[in-house]
Copies of this chain bind each other. A is one copy, B any other.
């Protein structure tokens, strides 16, 4: 009854890029060190690039020791092992209500950039000082998709939804205290939005929002069949 080798059970989804257009991404949080090295190495071999999310600085060290060109971003906690330079296309606006939401926003932005989208950052434009957001209306209207990120009461998505003609991906964050219940309040706000065009991902799921925004951005720039 010795310890099992968790690695040998991992079923790498090598077919995914063909099926969905995007390579498999590594959710680093809680992964064991050996596992991390192994999976980064295998995915890099298969795809020529790898993205890892929710990584600690220690995990970055582990990865860098096998993939020397790995890079780490301390704000978003993303490890990126980039392939050849990509031209960033289209336009995704990533917006936050406050400065505390920026780590989630950067996870979204860097994910979208890694996949090849151009990103416009519009941060700290929460609804309690609505003029800040309104002064960015022109910028917002250049986007193929808007990512709206907010904690506490999470009202940002509704206001943006009423301003733009494109889909808004809303990301509730765990920023807040007391009755914010670690993001539940913002999640409910966004799911109940009275504005049109708003759909929601999990609390703090910047990566997911960046992924969907890129899907939409690419559809807008290249169409489905290109």
Q: How far is the CA of A78 from the CA of B1 in the complex (A)?
A: 9
Q: A125 contacts which chain B residues (CB < 8 A)?
A: 11
Q: How far is the CA of A80 from the CA of B124 in the complex (A)?
A: 24
Is B203's CB under 8 angstroms from A201's CB? no
Is B97's CB under 8 angstroms from A194's CB? yes
User: Oligomeric state, in number of copies?
Assistant: 8
Q: CB of A64 within 8 A of chain B? A: no
A-side interface mostly: mixed
Which of A80, A155, A201, A221 has the most chain B CB atoms inside 10 A of its CB?
A: A155
Instruction: List residues 189-207 of chain A with CB under 8 A from any CB of chain B.
Output: 189-205
Interface string of A172-196 (1 = CB under 8 A from B): 1010111111111111111111111
Interface string of A193-226 (1 = CB under 8 A from B): 1111111111111001101100110011101100
- Please tell me the number of chain A residues within 8 Å of chain B, measured between CB atoms: 110
Residues of A whose CB lies within 8 Å of any CB of B are 1-4, 6, 9-11, 13, 15-16, 19-22, 25, 29-31, 35, 71, 73-75, 78, 80, 82, 90-91, 96-100, 102, 106, 110, 113-114, 121, 123-132, 134, 144, 152-155, 158-159, 161-167, 169-170, 172, 174, 176-205, 208-209, 211-212, 215-216, 219-221, 223-224
